[in-house]
Structure 1
Amino acid sequence: MPSPDRFLTNPVFVCLHYWAGAGREWDQVAAELAPAFTCLTPDLGGFGGALAPKGGHSVAAYTDSVAALIAEKQLTDFILVGHSMGGKIALDLAARQLAGMRGLVLLSPSPPTPEPMTDEDRTNSLRAHGSKLAALGTFNRITARPVSDQLKAQIIEDNLRSTREAWDAWLLRGSRENITSRLCDITVPCTILVGDADAVMSPSVHGLETLPYLPEGTHLEIIGGAGHLLPYEAPQEVAALLRKFAAGLHH
């Protein structure tokens, strides 16, 4: 029988959401992981219900805000989890080697290099802010597995809650930042999880643009039939990977 206090030793998952999303994208994953694990799922500045980060909307400003939250919560044993935009922020944060950080899990991350996006796609995305029709179109493009009507409505609502400032800043600047020079400072175990039907960034993008900058032995795992919104489309698989990753840190 496991010790009753075994769960107290499990690291906290600090989960960072995607662009035009919110922290509640992790609700299903957190439910799958409970009660063994706790998930901290903040809204990033300008998204969900969060105010703009101090210092603007750069990758470093977002990193500062998450680091401040970790300090405020006095976390001494945690694993960073970053999805899409949150992945790039998690990469930058992992390079700071915060005390207590045990590992890094990236879900369909925005790469540390400038994100592959055509000028046409960027222009169309800039014009899409605040449009329910555009938000629905985005949902249809970036998901591959079925999502309930309730969660679909939530995804669209989060898209529409994004502030114009945060929306534009990521498209024009954050997604274009190159943080590769700092990634040599990442020393914790890492893993990448992607969907093979991701219309935003295919597995090959992660293999070429992110994997080479991570520690030797980092795995790239693929979920069949899943698109870009893995916490919504494949919460059970994501939770299983997080449990497996945490267990592997003990060996």
Structure 2
Amino acid sequence: MIALLFFLLGIAILFLLSLYLHDAYLAVKFQMYVDQQKEQMRSHLNKQADPNSFFFATDLSKNVEENCRLDYQYQVAYYLRTAADTSFDKNTGRSSKTFVFLHGLGGQMAQFEGLINLIPPEYTVFSLDYCGCGLSKRAFNSHLGRSPRELSTEGLTTIVEKVIEKHIFPSDSIVLVGHSMGTSIAARLAKRLGKKCEALVLLAPKNCFNKSELELVQRIKKIPSPIFSLYRLFDRFQGLKSPSVNRCFSSKATQAQRAQLWIWNRESDTYVWKMMLMGIESVLASSFTFPSVPTLIITGNEDSLSPSSEKELYQDIQGDFSFQVVEAGHCLLMEKPYEIYQKIHNFLRLSS
């Protein structure tokens, strides 16, 4: 009997080891593929590529990961691209408009890279990885001293507000661009910034949670992080066609886009992801009054997480408001960066 138990234990260990080795193999394979695709897109031979390609829109000289900085006070990594000299305001000597990009649950600021590089040089661009996400995870041990309250939507909004106050010039007006969970943070931050917030751009916002989704959150809450990490391992086992990737993209997403998202999904910290999920709030939570600020909402026609069919939920928004749809899934900022930029450009009436 004891021998049988040891045999079964050995089989289980070998099975788990094979899973982790397979996962590591896919990580190396997909990273090499992504790097190759980026270099090809940057070459002069590919100038006829689809302008909506996330990789085509990427500029090596403005690479988010290679040009990020660290804020040791708030334990976050951030990206700051200051405006060109020609756009300086005569009175302040600084740019008059700053775009702030806020990523979603399990995401990172690098997901905005294609969109960021389309913003004209006369505007300042700022983004950050929340504590425990993306490059912040690599630079800081964000598990230590972090309470669930700090990683809730309200807690993250407070941190983002403080980081913005620290790094963005006081006289700048701000355009907040949020994706998924980042839209909830952006909407709450817009209220705190008041008149300083010039406009709000919400990409694939999670409008509200139904009963089944709330029940799922409670079930996940009870699952120990190591067990949930194992579930995530199975969730991405099928690589580019895994559920972890499919739920975020439309049927038209490229292999390169899928490979990049798979890598980012793998990098997402399970503990931090769970804590953020526990404290997440929707854009249209009953306890929240939507800010009175010009608002552009863009959703994907194949987004099952934030379906465009929920447009009517925004019917009470006052003032300058636009709801638009693109042919994409939940990660529309990766699938259609150029198209999204054009919609932002037209809504804000940018100068170039």
- TM-score tier by shorter-chain length is 0.7 to 0.9
Q: Matched residue of 1:192: which SS?
A: strand
Q: Tell me the equivalent position of 1:144.
A: 250
The structure 2 residue matched to 1:17, chosen from 94, 98, 103, is 103
Q: Tell me the equivalent position of 2:333.
A: 231
- What's the CA shift for 1:179? 4.1
Letter of the 1:59 partner, please give it: T
Q: Tell me the equivalent position of 2:324.
A: 221
Q: Tell me the equivalent position of 2:153.
A: 59
Q: Please give the TM-score of this superposition, normalised by the length of structure 1.
A: 0.81
Aligned 8 A contact 1:91 1:183 in 2: no
- What's the CA shift for 1:192? 0.4
Q: Tell me the equivalent position of 1:171.
A: 277
Q: Tell me the equivalent position of 1:5.
A: 86
Alignment of 1:97 with 2:193, yes or no, is yes
Q: Which has the higher contact order (CA 8 A, sep 6+)?
A: 1
- What's the CA shift for 1:191? 1.3
Q: Matched residue of 1:191: which SS?
A: strand
Aligned mates of 1:220, 1:121 — CA distance in 2: 29
- Alignment map for 1:1-251 (pairs within 5 Å): 5-6=86-87, 9=95, 11-50=97-136, 51=142, 55-75=149-169, 76-98=172-194, 100-111=196-207, 113-114=208-209, 118=213, 122=217, 123=219, 129=229, 131-135=232-236, 136-144=242-250, 146-175=252-281, 179-184=285-290, 186-208=291-313, 211-212=314-315, 214-223=317-326, 225-247=327-349
Aligned 8 A contact 2:294 2:321 in 1: yes
What is the number of equivalent residue pairs in this alignment?
241
Aligned 8 A contact 1:196 1:226 in 2: yes
Q: Matched residue of 1:42: which SS?
A: strand
Aligned mates of 2:123, 2:233 — CA distance in 1: 35
* Larger-gyration structure (1/2): 2
- What's the CA shift for 1:20? 1.2
1:124-171 per-residue CA deviation (whole Å, 9 max, x = no partner) reads: 797764634414322112201544444433312222222223211233
Going from structure 1 to structure 2, the CA distance change for 1:48 and 1:25 (only over 3 Å counts) comes to: same
Letter of the 1:66 partner, please give it: V
Aligned mates of 1:93, 1:212 — CA distance in 2: 21
Letter of the 2:128 partner, please give it: P
User: Unpaired runs of 5+ in structure 2?
Assistant: 1-84, 90-94, 137-141, 237-241
Q: Which moved more, 1:133-142 or 1:169-178?
A: 169-178
Q: Matched residue of 1:39: which SS?
A: strand
Letter of the 2:322 partner, please give it: H
Aligned mates of 2:346, 2:114 — CA distance in 1: 17
